[in-house]
Amino acid sequence: MEIKSGLYIAGILFALAVILTSTDCKNERKTGAAARLFNKVIGFTPKLKEYDITKLLDLILNDADLVKMAAYNKLFYLYKKQANTTSDETKKLIAVAMIRSTTELIKYYSVVFNYIKVKIALADGLEYAKKCSKIKNAEAECNKWKTMLIEAYVYRHKFAIDRISVQKFKEAYARAKKTNPDDKMINFLGTKVSCEVKLMEGNKKNALRNLDMWFKGINNSDQKFDCITELLKYENEIEIVGSYPGEYYYLLGRAYAKQKNNQKALECLVKARQGPIVCQKTRSKNKKVQELYEKLYIGEYAEH
């Protein structure tokens, strides 16, 4: 069955390649719908003119999917080109950018179910983090972004994890907390993971109901941890802590719904729906928001 699926996908890619190289498609080769789809599937993109590392990273974090990939490929080119630079500051700048970029790729490939690419992005990101840690005065920042990388892999759709992944995340998180004790992103990450664990409690469909024991020690992930109270601390700093409205308010809305406070949950989900939708990651989150909103609204206001 897997062989047939592979041949089917290969056939589609070949057909797209034929279309893209045809005469009729010449003027559409870089910008046409078929070209964009083909480029997204195989990860090939036209070269961007931008050379600024910070601007390229901003494109990867905040722009459309194909733009993200094009910016990543250009950033990778600059990374290879500047590998032998003598400036530690430049080395750290681009190494951190590469870790953050692969983290974003994991999020993209996860929602389009390309798990091979997810694994590749994780391996690449860990390699960048390893090299980053060897740069002078870069340990704290490298630890921080390595933790974000591993969390993105561990937390893909739900906690699609195993004991090894959990252990790696716990170790990375502990190092990041030690070297970045007051970092808001790291603190929020602990809160987010703890909330996800709390929201899984009592879910009989989930075979990993005791996940909170695995995450014990991460931001007080215990029975006294109040997800809503902790999340509300970051409501005015959503972007500062590395989140976005769709993610933050969806999580907060689920926490309210867990406590049967559907009115508050619906208010949060409305805010989540109003957040920007610029890529597959935000589009996928918005879809989940809509589904939960409909479920809660009908349950709250439909005649019984």
pLDDT tens-digit profile of 200-252? Answer: 766 545 444 445 555 555 655 455 789 999 999 999 999 999 999 999 999 99
- Kindly state the average pLDDT of the residues 123-138: 96
Sign of CA dihedral 75, 78, 82, 88: negative
What pLDDT band is residue 137 in, cutting at 50, 70 and 90?
Answer: very high
Task: Please compute, for residue 245, the number of CA atoms within 13 A of its CA located in the half-sphere on the CB side.
Answer: 14
> In the chain, which ranges are continuous DSSP H helix?
2-20, 33-42, 53-62, 65-81, 88-111, 115-132, 139-154, 163-179, 184-200, 211-214, 227-232, 245-258, 262-273, 280-301
DSSP 8-class letter at 63: S
The whole-chain average pLDDT of the chain stands at 83
Q: At 35, is the pLDDT very low, low, confident or very high (cuts 50, 70, 90)?
A: low
**295: confidence class by pLDDT, cuts 50, 70, 90:** very high
* Model pLDDT, residue 207: 42
Burial of 156 (0-12, 13-18, 19+ CB in 10 A): middle
User: 25-39, 109-123, 155-169, 253-267 — which is least confidently predicted?
Assistant: 25-39
CB–CB of 135/89 below 8 Å? no
Token pair in block for residue 101: 């970029």
What pLDDT sits at residue 132?
96
Cβ pair 53, 97 in contact under 8 A: yes
Q: What is the pLDDT of residue 2?
A: 45
Q: Average the pLDDT over 191-204 and give the result.
A: 78
Task: Quote the pTM value.
Answer: 0.82
Of 198 and 136, the structure prediction assigns the larger pLDDT to: 136
Of the candidates 61, 137, 134, 132, the residue with the CA atom closest to the CA atom of residue 103:
61
Confidence of residue 165 (pLDDT cuts 50, 70, 90): confident
- Of 35-39, 242-246, 287-291, minimum mean pLDDT range: 35-39
Domain ranges of the chain: 1-42, 46-181, 184-232, 244-304
Residue 168 has pLDDT above 90, yes or no: no
The string of pLDDT tens digits covering residues 266-288 is 999 999 999 999 999 999 999 99
